[in-house]
């Protein structure tokens, strides 16, 4: 069975922050097509602030996720502040007492993050939001583990499903948030939240994979 | 962009700094949170606190309505972006005089989520927050889905009446119910003639072609119900009044209060031109105007355009509208 160490894995969150910051302009550009165009700016601001606090600290993954979630929730606002803020703090709470994280713990962490989002937002799959990325990605991870795949293989399934979920938003009409006011005009454009969520999940998987060891 | 800004990413910080200096006799910055403005006299022991919050760029809303007999505290968001849950919580802390806090805000996804989280956090420290969500923008959803409509300039009447009720010493539930009645009695419509630009983005994120107008536009440029060739002010005002009053269905003889607000880049004279016709249309339906507010009461950066808000009055709302206030937006 594969697992990775919680301690000193805070660097995973640093590369996640780098990924968001690199995509600042891209995320704002797609947001600008059906939203107000500040998704990349706000995400980069929050993830950048969190990265500054994590750098050089030797944090565990749980500590780094908690730092990121708290910054998003207390300093960013908008819609993404509370949504990602609650997701990352829930991730952190789930794993804070675990020294080693196996596929079961990782799955529980993802589910608790999703539950947190669903407790404050009212979106469903198909509404053209980040849930269109997150929900199928979690399902793909669980399905892979359930069919006997390794943690590493399940992470690959998670990434593939996240990307497919993100792409599915191109053909959806927004049902919630500012883009929902556009009706049919939101067709043909990726949802910015679904896109940033795919970046987050991919980066998380890429950070975990090389750290996996047999227990 | 021809603008008076320092750093495009620090527009809100710089706005708040100047605002607090300009109105130091009425407001103060929260010592705990640079994104919370409170009335100087707040909190008042034994009085229900009244707060709001929202994205910046709508000045004088939201901060300008902080003051005596008005809002006790306001959470300040980035331009067009909801304040954080922490800022809503800190606003509630500043406003809490021990009888609970009413948060009166607009119906936007981010605000809904951040307020919801703030309520949870406040409950942990024993502060009860109740809410009223504004939904006066007629064109943002049909009458059968009124709960989906967004809040626009009708929020000003909701704050005014709710805050005046709180100032009279009413209970949390009484303040909430009065604010709810005020917004239930409001209908608003916006017409846009030109877009606005977020400084950090640098270009307009929607367009209104010269010679056209967008009927039903929202306070962030949310699309309206139709784009039409721009007509005379008389025709536009007739249509705005028709959309609002048809939705309102007020009995002849009713009294109303009216706000005609510019969206940021429309001169005051044009608002008076619109009001000339709006007044005739309202009177033509047998309604009496009790009070009119004309000016830049709720703007959208430099959007060209105007909104009309009509609130139906009863004796209580008339009395509450008449209560004197001291706040920067209504001096």
**Would you say residue B45 lies in a domain?**
yes
Would the pLDDT of A37 be above 80?
A: no
Cβ–Cβ gap B201/A36 under 8 Å: yes
CATH number of the domain enclosing B120: 3.40.50.10440
Give pLDDT, residue A33: 84
* Distances in whole angstroms, Cα of residue A127 to Cα of each of A13, B167, B267: 28, 42, 40
Q: Looking at the domain assignment, is residue B165 inside a domain?
A: yes
Across residues A15-27, what is the average pLDDT? 96
Residues B46 and B64 in one domain: yes
Q: Among B152, B184, B216, give the residue marking a domain's end.
A: B184
Q: What sign does the CA torsion over A82, B219, B294, B309 have?
A: negative
Given B147, B162, B184, the domain boundary residue is: B184
What's residue A176's pLDDT? 82
The answer to whether A73 contacts chain B (CB < 8 Å) is yes
Say yes or no for a CB contact (<8 Å) between A77 and B83: yes
Is residue A215's pLDDT more than 90?
A: no
Query: A81 near A75, Cβ under 8 Å?
Result: yes
Same domain, B93 and B206: no
Judge if B162 and B192 occupy the same domain.
Answer: no
* A100 φ/ψ sector (left φ>0, alpha ψ -120 to 50, else beta): beta
**Residue B313 belongs to a domain:** yes
Tell whether B131 and B261 lie within a shared domain: no
Angle, vertex CA A207, rays to CA A204 and CA A213, nearest 5: 120
pLDDT in tens, chain B (331 residues): 789 999 988 999 999 999 999 999 999 999 999 999 999 999 999 999 999 999 999 999 999 999 999 999 999 999 999 999 999 999 999 999 999 999 999 999 999 999 999 999 999 999 999 999 999 999 999 999 999 999 999 999 999 999 999 999 999 999 999 999 999 999 999 999 999 998 888 888 788 999 999 999 999 888 889 999 999 999 999 999 999 999 999 999 999 999 999 999 999 999 999 999 999 999 999 999 999 999 999 999 999 999 999 999 999 999 999 999 999 999 7
CA A62 and chain centroid, separation? 15
How far apart are the CA of A79 and the nearest CA of chain B, in angstroms? 4
CATH number at residue B222: 3.30.1180.20
Q: How far is A72 from chain B (nearest CA, A)?
A: 9
- Nearest-CB residue to B220 (from A42, A74, A178): A178
d(Cα B326, Cα B331) in Å, to the nearest integer?
Answer: 6
Lookup: tokens for A94: 């789930």
The span from the CA of B21 to the CA of B7, in Å, is: 19
User: Does B218 lie in the same domain as B155?
Assistant: no
pLDDT band of residue A178 (cuts 50, 70, 90) is confident
Domain assignment of residue B29, given as a range? 8-184
User: B163 and B216 share a domain?
Assistant: no
Q: How many residues does chain A have?
A: 215
Task: Tell me the count of A-B CB pairs closer than 8 A.
Answer: 87
Closest alpha carbon to B116 in B29, B125, B105: B105
Shortest distance between the Cα of B141 and any Cα of chain A, in A, equals 9
Query: What would the 3-class secondary structure string for B235-274 be?
Result: HHHHHHHHHHHHHHCCCCCCEEEEEEEECECCCHHHHHHH
Q: Is residue B90 part of a domain?
A: yes
Chain A, residues 145-204, CB within 8 A of chain B, namely: 176-178, 181-182, 185
Structural domains in chain A, CATH included, are: 2-210 (1.25.40.340)
- Please check whether residue B330 lies inside any domain of the structure: no
Question: Helices (DSSP H) in chain A: which residue ranges?
Answer: 11-22, 24-34, 39-54, 61-71, 80-95, 103-120, 131-146, 151-168, 192-208
Rounded to whole angstroms, how far apart are CA atoms B47 and B166?
6
- The whole-angstrom distance between residue B313's C-alpha and the CA centroid of its chain comes to 18
d(CA B264, CA B194): 10
Cα–Cα–Cα angle for A70, B15, A25, rounded to 5 degrees: 55
Pairing verdict, β B36-39 and A213-214: unpaired
Among B9, B114, B198, the residue with its CB nearest the CB of A36 is B198
Same domain, B161 and B303: no
**Interface membership of A29 toward B (CB under 8 Å):** no
Same domain, yes or no: B203 and B300: yes
Both structure tokens of B149: 């409509």
Residue B98 sits in the same domain as residue B115: yes
- Asked whether the beta carbons of B151 and B53 are under 8 A apart, the reply is no
Contacts for A132 with CB less than 8 Å, ≥ 6 apart = A125, A126, A165, A166, A168, A169, A172, A191, A194
Asked if A78 lies within 8 A of B205 by C-beta distance, the reply is no
Q: What is the pLDDT of residue A38?
A: 80
**Active-site positions of B?**
58, 220
Residues B180 and B191 occupy one common structural domain: no
Question: For chain B, where are the alpha helices, taking DSSP H only?
Answer: 11-22, 85-95, 109-124, 154-167, 172-184, 233-248, 268-284, 315-322
**Residue that is last in its domain, among B169, B184, B199:** B184
Domain for residue B2, yes or no? no
B130 φ, ψ (degrees, to nearest 5): -110, 165
Asked if B197 is an interface residue toward chain A (Cβ–Cβ < 8 A), one would say no
Min Cα–Cα distance to chain B from A116, Å? 11
Chain A contact for B9 (CB, 8 A cutoff): yes
- Is B256 within 8 Å of B282 (Cβ atoms)? yes
Predicted confidence band of residue A56 (pLDDT cuts 50, 70, 90) = very high
d(CA B325, CA A8): 56
B99 and B172 fall within a common domain:
yes
Q: What are the two backbone dihedrals, phi and then psi, of residue A122, each rounded to the nearest 5 degrees?
A: -120, 15
Contact A55, A63 (CB under 8 A): no
CB contact under 8 A, A78 and B117: no
Is A82 part of the contact surface with chain B (CB cutoff 8 Å)?
Answer: yes
Of B327, B297, B299, B330, nearest in space to B66 by CA: B327
> In angstroms, how far is CA B109 from the centroid of its own chain?
16
Question: What pLDDT is stored for residue B175 in this prediction?
Answer: 98
What is the per-residue pLDDT across A66-105, written as a single tens digit (0 to 9) for each? Answer: 999 999 998 888 899 999 999 999 999 999 999 999 999 9
Distance CA B250, CA B287 (A): 8
Q: Put the strands of the sheet holding B49-56 in their side by side order.
A: B27-29, B36-39, B73-79, B49-56, B101-105, B129-133
Identify the residue among A43, A81, A120 best suited for mutation to test binding to B, counting B beta carbons within 10 A and taking the highest. A81
Asked if the ipTM is above 0.90, the reply is no
Which residues in chain B have Cβ-Cβ distances shorter than 8 Å to A78?
77-78, 81-82, 110
Domain count, chain B: 2
The verdict on residue B327 lying in a domain is no
| B85, burial (CB in 10 Å: exposed 0-12, middle 13-18, buried 19+) | buried
Q: Are residues B133 and B279 in the same domain?
A: no
Question: CB distance from A41 to chain B under 8 Å?
Answer: yes
Note whether B205 contacts A86, CB cutoff 8 Å: no
Give this prediction's pTM.
Answer: 0.91
Q: What are phi and psi of A5, to 5 degrees?
A: -80, 135
**At residue B256, what are phi and psi to the nearest 5 degrees?**
-135, 160
């Amino acid at each position: 069975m594969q697992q990775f160490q919680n301690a000193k894995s805070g660097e995973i969150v640093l590369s996640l922050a780098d990924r968001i910051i690199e995509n600042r302009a891209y995320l704002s550009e797609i947001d600008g097509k059906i939203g107000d165009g500040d998704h990349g700016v706000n995400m980069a601001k929050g993830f950048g602030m969190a990265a500054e606090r994590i750098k050089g600290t030797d944090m565990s993954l749980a500590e780094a996720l908690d730092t990121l979630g708290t910054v998003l929730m207390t300093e960013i606002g908008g819609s993404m502040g509370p949504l990602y803020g609650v997701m990352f703090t829930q991730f952190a709470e789930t794993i804070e007492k675990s020294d080693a994280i196996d596929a079961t713990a990782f799955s529980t962490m993802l589910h608790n993050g999703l539950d947190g989002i669903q407790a404050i937002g009212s979106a469903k799959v198909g509404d053209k939001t980040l849930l269109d990325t997150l929900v199928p990605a979690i399902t793909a991870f669980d399905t892979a583990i359930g069919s006997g795949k390794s943690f590493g293989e399940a992470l690959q399934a998670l990434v593939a499903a996240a990307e497919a979920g993100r792409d599915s938003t191109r053909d959806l009409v927004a049902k919630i948030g500012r883009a929902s006011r556009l009706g049919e005009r939101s067709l043909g454009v990726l949802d910015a939240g679904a896109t940033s969520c795919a970046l987050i999940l991919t980066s998380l998987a890429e950070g975990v994979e090389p750290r996996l060891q047999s227990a | 962009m021809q603008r008076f800004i320092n750093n495009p990413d620090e527009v809100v910080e710089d706005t708040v700094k100047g605002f607090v200096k300009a109105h130091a006799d009425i407001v103060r910055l929260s010592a705990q949170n640079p994104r919370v403005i409170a009335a100087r006299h707040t909190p008042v022991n034994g009085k229900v606190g009244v707060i709001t919050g929202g994205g910046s760029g709508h000045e004088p809303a939201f901060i300008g309505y902080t003051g005596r007999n008005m809002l006790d505290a306001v959470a300040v968001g980035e331009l067009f972006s909801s304040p954080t849950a922490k800022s809503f919580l800190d606003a509630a802390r500043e406003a809490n005089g021990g009888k609970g806090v009413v948060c009166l805000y607009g119906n936007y996804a981010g605000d809904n989520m951040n307020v919801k989280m703030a309520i949870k956090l406040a409950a942990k420290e024993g502060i009860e927050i109740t809410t009223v969500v504004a939904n006066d923008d007629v064109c943002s959803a049909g009458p059968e889905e009124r709960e989906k409509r967004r809040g626009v300039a009708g929020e000003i009447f909701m704050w005014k009446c709710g805050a005046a009720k709180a100032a009279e010493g009413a209970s949390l539930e009484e303040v909430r119910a009065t604010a709810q009645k005020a917004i239930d009695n409001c209908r608003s419509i916006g017409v846009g003639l030109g877009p606005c630009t977020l400084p950090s983005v640098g270009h307009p994120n929607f367009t209104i072609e010269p010679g056209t107008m967008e009927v039903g536009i929202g306070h962030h440029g949310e699309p309206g119900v139709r784009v039409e060739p721009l007509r005379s002010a008389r025709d536009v005002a007739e249509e705005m009044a028709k959309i609002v009053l048809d939705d309102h269905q007020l009995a002849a003889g009713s009294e109303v209060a009216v706000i005609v607000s510019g969206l940021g880049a429309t001169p005051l004279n044009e608002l008076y031109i619109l009001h000339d016709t709006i007044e005739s249309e309202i009177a033509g339906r047998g309604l009496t105007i009790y009070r009119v507010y004309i000016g830049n009461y709720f703007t959208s950066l430099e959007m060209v355009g105007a909104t009309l808000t009509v609130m139906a009055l009863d004796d209580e709302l008339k009395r509450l509208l008449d209560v004197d206030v001291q706040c920067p937006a209504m001096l």
